[in-house]
Amino acid sequence: MNREILRLAIPNIIANISVPMLGIVDTALVGHMEAVYYIGALAVGTMVFNFLYFGMGFLSMGTSGLTAQAWGAQNQSEVGLVFWRALTVALSMSILLILLQIPLVRIGFHFVDATPEVLEHASSYFHIRIWAAPATLSLMVVQGWFIGIQNARTPMMLTIAVNVFNILGNLIFVYGFGMNSDGVAYGTVCAQYLGLLIAFKILSTMVSPLKNPVNWRKVLQLSALKQYFYINFDLFLRTLNLIVVFAFFTLASSWQSGMILAANSILMQPWAFNSFALDGFAYAAQSLVGRFIGAGDVVSLKRCIRYLLLWCTGIALIFSLVYFLFGEWILAAFTDKEDVIRKALEYWNWVVLGTFLGSFAYIWDGIYIGATATRSIRNAMLICGVVFFCSYWIFIEPMGNHGLWTALTIFMIARGLILTVMAPACIYRKI
């Protein structure tokens, strides 16, 4: 079982680490520009895209869970149909996002208490990057489908390729063409479309949905679409609640001061690095749990979950130890602004603690998604959202920014605890 977990997890860890690496490079690029407000502009612009793209994360998660169960049941026809249904939804949603970009940016920035310079550059960043939506959402589908068919190597190669293209593109636009945060946006757009071209090239050379004629009657079958939307709407609400919490974290940072916004934006990078690494095991959980449930193998299911939680504990402890020992060096890699580094160091222990305490939520997410126990994961996240906002209002006034970090840490602990308690009824009952 460990071999199966690592076979799927290691490629996903490598791929996922490249995602926050992109954020790290982007933050470092703007962190070394002449003005601090470029850091805030990138943080605010990214916050809005977190709403949009993480909200559409069901395109990957739902696709992987449904595909894995069809794969476990050896239903090859349904494996292909899931792909085309998800891709149809992805392209439809991306067109809608592009058409609604003006009201989206107005709504997204309405609650941001930032300087005019931050809002100006954040708005420009948004209107450039939104044109990557068709490629970005389609790549979510492709990667979720590959995970569902127990293929972790191809998503790894795709993710690494996209992020390498992105980093190179950002460097070219920022340093080659002398651009600011707009250059980061242009680099992202180019990289997403290059990645999509590579993805379809790979699909065209293997046994895949592209090899067979598309039966659109079955793809658009009402009952199948209802099931797809039912599962994915729950995932959408779960993800939306998660995004609201992290977006509120950014907003609450901006309400305190521009310096706190810059410091918290940098502190979230190592936090994200840890979460993306552990998500490699969460993707393995989606794939294996879905397969074992599809095959009706409860013994392997329980064994798989036990080993996944053990791996999660060990990896999270290693990350916490590294952050504890090398905090100041890590922060110095993000910016050369001494005042920002000093401010971030005041709250560094929250990164060290949160890295371990919040880690179990990521693994349980993968387990529930693989089991398509979407209603349960939605309800758990709604409860945790309430816990976060209650904690924020209790701690923010007496503790300031420490109170904000306290609320976020409590939120992550609650996610892991609630999903653990619900597991016997929501996961094992699937078989």
Summarize pLDDT for 359-407 with one digit per residue, the tens.
Answer: 888 889 888 888 878 888 889 999 999 999 999 999 998 898 899 999 9
- Taking the C-alpha atoms of residue 342 and residue 365, their distance in angstroms, rounded to an integer, is 35
For residues 71-91, average pLDDT: 82
Indicate the average pLDDT of the chain: 81
Q: Summarize the confidence of residues 314-338 as an average pLDDT.
A: 83
Going from the C-alpha of 102 to that of each of 124, 230, 234, 313, 368, the distances in angstroms are 11, 29, 27, 44, 36
Give kind and range of the element (H or E) at residue 426: helix 401-426
Phi-psi region of 215 (alpha: psi -120 to 50; beta: other; left: phi over 0): beta
Positive or negative, the CA dihedral 149, 153, 157, 163 is positive
Instruction: Say how far apart CA 65 and CA 307 lie, in whole Å.
Output: 19
Q: How many CA within 13 A on the CB side of residue 342?
A: 3
More confident site: 55 or 253: 253
Q: What is the pLDDT of residue 121?
A: 72
Tokens encoding 49: 């895209």
Task: Decide which of 423 and 12 is more confident.
Answer: 423
pLDDT of residue 289: 85
Instruction: Name the CA radius of gyration of the chain, rounded.
Output: 21
DSSP class of 34: S
Q: Which two tokens stand for residue 108?
A: 């997204």
pLDDT attached to residue 380:
92
Torsional class of 178: left (φ above 0), alpha (ψ -120 to 50), beta (otherwise): left
CA angle 419, 414, 17 (to 5 degrees): 80
Residue 198: the pLDDT is 92
Average of pLDDT values for 317-344?
A: 82
Q: Where is pLDDT greater, at 364 or 106?
A: 364
Phi/psi zone of residue 74: left (φ > 0), alpha (ψ -120 to 50 degrees), beta? Answer: left
Q: Which tens digit of pLDDT belongs to each residue from 218-240?
A: 777 777 777 777 777 887 888 88
110-114, 116-120, 264-268: the lowest-pLDDT one:
110-114
- Please give the single-letter amino acid code of residue 162: V
One-letter identity of residue 47: M
User: DSSP for 198-252?
Assistant: HHHHHHHTSSSGGGS---HHHHT-HHHHHHHHHHHHHHHHHHHHHHHHHHHHHHH
Buried b (16+ CB within 10 A) or exposed e, 237-273: bbbbbbbbbbbbbbbbbbebebbbbbbbbbbbbbbbb
Q: Are the CB atoms for 152 and 8 separated by under 8 Å?
A: yes
For range 276-295, the mean pLDDT: 81
Residue 37 is predicted with a pLDDT of 58
Query: Rounded mean pLDDT of 181-210?
Result: 83
